[in-house]
Amino acid sequence: MILDVDTGTDDAIAIMLAALHPDIELVGVTTVAGNASLAHTTENSLRVLDHIGHEVPVFAGAAGALVPSTAVSDQSERSRRIHGDLLDLPAARSTAQPRRAAEFLIDSFPEGGDVVLVPTGPLTNIATALTLDPGLAARIPRLVLMGGSHVRAN
């Protein structure tokens, strides 16, 4: 499984559940701006994995929407007030990988693979990866998507 997250409090739980579940191999976490800035969602993801003692590579992705929108900006600000910026965990000891999230996503889905992609935040990393490699869509065997809202956050 690959989680594509905008880690605030809710995605912290998703990371812990996936990383600690005995039947799931969490092969990577990609981060995107959403509930908080990219710097904070990446740091939060690293903090969670460090806290539970799991070494899973984290790849920072998109710092903003592909097409900026006032509605999205207002929505993101409301999300930040709900989720906060940084989780109340010790600062991360681990660091994000040097490769970008879109590159990692493209390389993680070879023809005939069985990795499940689970995005829980804005789909900007996936859109970027699909723009760079339009054939990627046909190679993703399963996508489990959390629905959101057009008018309100989450």
pLDDT digits (tens, 9 = 90+) for 114-148: 999 999 989 999 999 999 999 999 999 999 987 66
Rounded (to 5) percent helix, strand, coil in the chain: 40, 10, 50
The DSSP bridge partners found for residue 116 are: 142
| CA 153 from centroid of its chain's CA atoms | 16
* Neighbouring C-beta atoms of residue 68, cutoff 10 Å: 8
Q: Among all residues, which ones are annotated catalytic?
A: 6
pLDDT digits (tens, 9 = 90+) for 15-71: 999 999 999 999 999 999 988 899 999 999 999 999 999 999 999 999 998 887 655
Residue type, 27: V
DSSP state of 135: T
Average pLDDT over residues 81-96: 84
